[in-house]
Amino acid sequence: MARRLEEFYCDKDGGGCGQYFKTYLRESMFGNYTIQCPNEKCKHQHFRVIDKGLVTQDRHNKRLGEAEVIVGLRSTLSMTPYHNDPDFRRQQLQVYNGSQ
């Protein structure tokens, strides 16, 4: 079963810590999920609907039942989003230019 890495932003305006974190989602995931920030001082919860392993913009929906809680990966906490990380950008350029 395939899984993919998804990044979340724990928005300060929503009561979060202002950091980014990642977690794995499986393609078979569907329904209500609560994604919890792994920052020990924060633990802010993000209420999302996931469809085929993809996070939608929808909030929890009563007809989709109870929510499973997923805690983000603590080792991925960062003040910089993944796509702006210099190492990630360098890797992208290497792949784009055909080198390893």
Full domain range(s) for residue 82? 3-96
Q: How far apart are CA 66 and CA 63, in angstroms?
A: 9
Task: Read off the pLDDT of residues 11-50 as tens digits, 9 standing for 90 and up.
Answer: 999 899 999 999 999 999 999 999 999 999 999 999 999 9
Whole-structure pTM value:
0.75
Task: Read off the pLDDT of residues 39-86 as tens digits, 9 standing for 90 and up.
Answer: 999 999 999 999 988 888 888 888 888 888 999 999 999 998 876 666
Judged on CB neighbours under 10 Å (0-12, 13-18, 19+), 76 is middle
**What is the count of structural domains for the chain?**
1
